[in-house]
Amino acid sequence: MGIVRAAAVCLALLLAACGEPVPQARSAYVGDWRAEKMQLVITQEGFVNYVRRHEHGKTTVNAPIQRFDGDNFVVGIGPFSTTFVVSKPPHLDGSAWKMTVDGVELVRNSGPSDFNA
């Protein structure tokens, strides 16, 4: 009986790890967003690669989007998650797409992503 229970737990964790594709209504969030000390890559498949450099290191998150909550989005696996607070959702400013996340104004990179956490 212990093996069945362990298998069920493993299956639940695997299912929780699967991200959902970004909904069409949120397609503007998809892209390679950058600021001087921050990069946020959101894929159409619903995966986030994030790095923010600090004076004494960096913070990284590599996980699926669990859900959108208003303009914000929650990223993580199972009970381990973090909320990215979006104070200005993606919008066109002149010819550049911008979004403000966790107090940082990001600009969407139009070239290929060279994400390196």
Tens of pLDDT, residue by residue over 99-109, are 999 999 999 99
- Which residue reads 């790890």 in tokens? 17
- Asked whether the predicted pLDDT for residue 38 surpasses 60, the reply is yes
99 falls within a domain: yes
Q: Judging by beta carbons within 10 Å of its beta carbon (0-12, 13-18, 19+), is residue 22 exposed, middle or buried?
A: buried
DSSP secondary structure string, 43-73?
A: -TTSEEEEEEEETTEEEEEEEEEEEEETTEE
Is 114 a member of any domain?
A: no
Domain ranges, residue 70: 2-109
**Residue 82 within any structural domain of the chain:** yes
How far apart (Å, rounded) are the C-alpha atoms in residues 15 and 36? 35
| Domain count along the chain | 1
* Higher pLDDT pick, 88 / 8: 88
**Angstrom distances, CA of residue 3 to CA of 11, 15, 35, 73:** 12, 18, 48, 35
40 within some domain: yes
Residue 116 lies in a domain: no
Interval 55-78 mean pLDDT: 96
Whether 117 maps to a domain, the answer reads no
Domain containing residue 71: CATH number = 2.40.128
User: Is 87 a member of any domain?
Assistant: yes
The 10s digit of each residue's pLDDT in 4-31 is: 455 444 444 444 455 679 999 999 999 9
| Residue 61 pLDDT > 90 | yes
